[in-house]
Amino acid sequence: LVLQFLEDKKGRVWVATFYGLKLYDPKVDTVKVIKFDTVEYVTLNRNFIVRVVESSDGTIWSATMGGLVKYNPETDIVKTYR
């Protein structure tokens, strides 16, 4: 189930879903999935993404059922706040 779409400043499309955050880059026609993973150290804190916004510096912020997630798409670094 898709809850929200967001087009960022670079023309990429972020999709907030029940199953994580999807990033579609139409320039290279690729989809990246960012989701909670019990094995990976740096992941979302929950897969249910309620809202996604882009800050002025290009950081992607996601509201999840488990708190707030800060994602830097340039460095692929995720930080969670509960």
Kindly report, residue by residue over 16-43, the tens digit of the pLDDT: 998 889 999 999 999 999 886 644 544 5
Contact indicator for 80, 44 with CB cutoff of 8 Å:
yes
Query: d(Cα 62, Cα 6) in Å, to the nearest integer?
Result: 11
1 pLDDT band (50/70/90 cuts)? confident
Query: d(Cα 52, Cα 6) in Å, to the nearest integer?
Result: 7
45 pLDDT band (50/70/90 cuts)? low
Question: For 59, phi and psi rounded to 5 degrees?
Answer: -70, 140
Query: In a 10 Å sphere around its CB, with 0-12 CB exposed, 13-18 middle and 19+ buried, how is residue 14 labelled?
Result: buried
